[in-house]
Amino acid sequence: MDIKLYDTTLRDGTQAEEISFTVEDKIRISKELDDLGIHYIEGGWPGSNPRDIQFFKEIKNYSLSQAKIVAFSSTARPKTPPEKDTSIKELLKAKTEAVTIVGKSWDIHVREALGVSLKENLKMISETIAFLKQKAPEVIFDAEHFFDGYRNNPEYARQVIKTVSALSCDCIVLCDTNGGGMPFEIQEIIRAIKPDISVPLGIHCHNDSEMAVANSIMAVKEGVAQVQGTMNGFGERCGNANLCSIIPNLHLKLGIRCVSDGQLRNLVRVSRFVYELANLSPLKHQPFVGDSAFAHKGGIHVHAVQKNPQTYEHIRPELVGNRQRVLISDLSGKSNIIYKANELGIKVNSRDPVVISTLEKIKEMENRGYQFEGAEASFELLLKSSMGLQRKYFDLVGFRVISEKRRETEAPLAEATIMIRVGGKVEHTAAMGNGPVNALDNAIRKALEKFYPQLKEMELMDYKVRVISTGAGTGAQVRVLIESGDKKDRWGTVGLSENIIEASWQALVDSITYKLLKDEEKAQ
């Protein structure tokens, strides 16, 4: 079965709350989607905004290996010939290899949203498609709200797509626009209308019932030739069908090679690239591409996975560009410690006293409130310290943090003073910050950069505080998780104390120590 993948991240995806792409973003994403093996990339609606018009101009300066760029528009307006409709003119000005036209197939939308008769809607659709068939290399029709329309008025919904089919449209896409369809309904309706249609069918599902991927897969089982969706399921309301799940399910579960094996291994990278340009944190628990998709925590699970990954993994993570991970927590067994040690190049076995003592220490620390799942750098430092493989790069002589608010109308000021000993030298310095933790971070870096200039390329990426013992009020224990990074890597560290400054200090020290350790190991 030959399935074409149609990505609409750059149009439908941008309708999601908090998502907006620049023209440069859209070009970079297009190149990544092409590497992934996407066949059609819907770049936007050139008649709706200047940014999309600019994108269609700029993308012509780039050569894509297989993807076709698609421009999107609605049918011509009521009582307006297509050749005189502004949106249709802009659509053709984009000069893309394919165009997609959306038209109403639900009678309620025709009467109440468009405000025209059912007959006039059919005329608008047929005239627009007939005109574009003469002007564009390939014409795709999105039958908006098709499944809702079919449930409400099957004869009219059927009449819409039969009209388009008679005009030899290149593909008719059946849309579950409200996202309320169920897999068995999608299956039944496609089976009912397929004998009447002589052109290829496609599927476009939204995720309002958490069924978009399942509905898309069911449509493929019923013979549709094109599947539309977005990267990471971005889209309005609850999102669109998630291509990051659809592609591997088609390729690995149904045996439909919609992309090559090499292209499939780009899936995680492209997913996270799109998250990055959207300025959103990747969802850890997202199937196939999430950090936690192949992460194992329970000791029994880890023990089994070490013997045979199939015991707790439905596919090999490398097939989609992901990796197996083992988490360290109070649920860990010796297998978790051994796995992590081996991953770090440290050879240990189940009888090694270090394994037993490290496991006991982790369980005791997590019982107090520490968490190492998001702080693997702190765990690595703990393990290496237990084995005598970790040296201290500096010692704290002392620090003081002052937070001052001088006037009600002014923001508070924070200043940190610190004394650090490196070797036999003591560095005494101070720094300001927009808060006490920021001031402390600035001060320790300022003190250490004289000795370790590589710290200039390190930055704090994320900072989270969690209250552990809520019953103690403002005297409660807090856990601080810090994510730091440099030009190549990102890592997490943890601190715990009743004093938020102390907890932050612990996490900051681990973060800096980890950076220095990794740089030293790379230099060896």
Written as one string, the DSSP assignment of 441-481 is HHHHHHHHTTT-GGGGG-EEEEEEEEES-GGGGGG--EEEE
With tokens 């809607």, the residue in question is: 121
Assigned CATH class of 394-451: alpha beta
Residue 507 has a pLDDT of 94
In angstroms, rounded to a whole number, what is the distance separating the alpha carbons of residues 174 and 222?
12
Q: Work out the widest C-alpha separation in the chain, in whole angstroms.
A: 89
CA atoms within 13 A on the CB side of 105: 30
Cα dihedral 29, 31, 37, 40, rounded to 10, equals: 70
From the CB of residue 448, how many other CB atoms can be counted at a distance below 10 Å?
A: 20
Taking only the tens place, the pLDDT of each residue in 155-210 is 999 999 999 999 999 999 999 999 999 999 999 999 999 999 999 999 999 999 99
For 85, 356, 416, 433, 508, the CA distances from 501, given in Å and listed in that order, are 63, 32, 11, 13, 10
Rounded Cα distance, 45 and 56, in Å? 10
Which pLDDT value is given to residue 363?
Answer: 74
**What whole-number distance in Å separates Cα of residue 412 and Cα of residue 434?**
8
pLDDT at 404: 87
Residue type, 509: V
- What is the model's pLDDT at position 382? 84
Q: How far is CA 411 from CA 390, 401, 402, 431, 504, in A?
A: 41, 17, 14, 17, 22
Q: CB within 8 A of 24, min separation 6: which ones? A: none
- Phi then psi for 487, rounded to 5 degrees? -70, -20
- List the 395-404 sheet strands across, edge first: 395-404, 413-422, 425-433
Q: What is the DSSP string of 326-341?
A: E--STT--HHHHHHHH
Read off the tokens for 511: 């973060």
Q: How many CB atoms lie within 10 A of CB 223?
A: 12
Residue type, 344: L
CB 139 within 8 A of CB 177: no
Tell me the C-alpha distance between 517 and 510, whole Å. 10
Distance CA 14, CA 21 (A): 7
pLDDT tens-place values along the chain, 524 residues long: 799 999 999 999 999 998 999 999 999 999 999 999 999 999 999 978 889 999 999 999 999 999 999 999 999 999 999 999 999 999 999 999 999 999 999 999 999 999 999 999 999 999 999 999 999 999 999 999 999 999 999 999 999 999 999 999 999 999 999 999 999 999 999 999 999 999 999 999 999 999 999 999 999 999 999 999 999 999 999 999 999 999 999 999 999 999 999 999 999 999 989 988 888 878 989 999 998 888 877 667 766 777 787 888 899 999 999 988 766 554 556 666 777 777 777 777 777 787 777 777 777 777 777 777 678 888 888 888 877 777 889 999 999 999 888 888 888 889 999 999 998 899 999 999 888 988 999 999 999 999 999 999 998 888 888 887 655 555 678 889 898 988 888 898 999 998 989 999 999 999 999 999 988 888 77
Q: How far apart are the C-alpha atoms of 24 and 22, rounded to whole Å?
A: 5
| Burial degree of 205 (CB within 10 A; 0-12, 13-18, 19+) | buried
pLDDT at 474: 59
Position of tokens 């006039």? 120
Q: Where in the chain is the domain with CATH 3.20.20.70?
A: 4-277
How far apart (Å, rounded) are the C-alpha atoms in residues 412 and 389? Answer: 42
Which residue intervals of the chain bear CATH 3.30.160? 394-451
Note the Cα 257 to chain centre separation in Å.
Answer: 23
State the pLDDT at residue 171: 98
Name which of 53, 71, 76 is nearest 131 in CA terms: 76
The β-bridge partners of 460 are 484
Are 150 and 197 a contacting pair, CB within 8 Å?
Answer: no
Residues in the chain: 524
Whole-angstrom distance, CA of residue 213 vs CA of residue 229? 9
Strand partners, 464: 481
Backbone angle region of 234, left / alpha / beta, with phi > 0 → left and psi within -120 to 50 → alpha: beta
Fold exhibited by the domain 4-277 = TIM Barrel (3.20.20)
Q: What is the pLDDT of residue 168?
A: 95
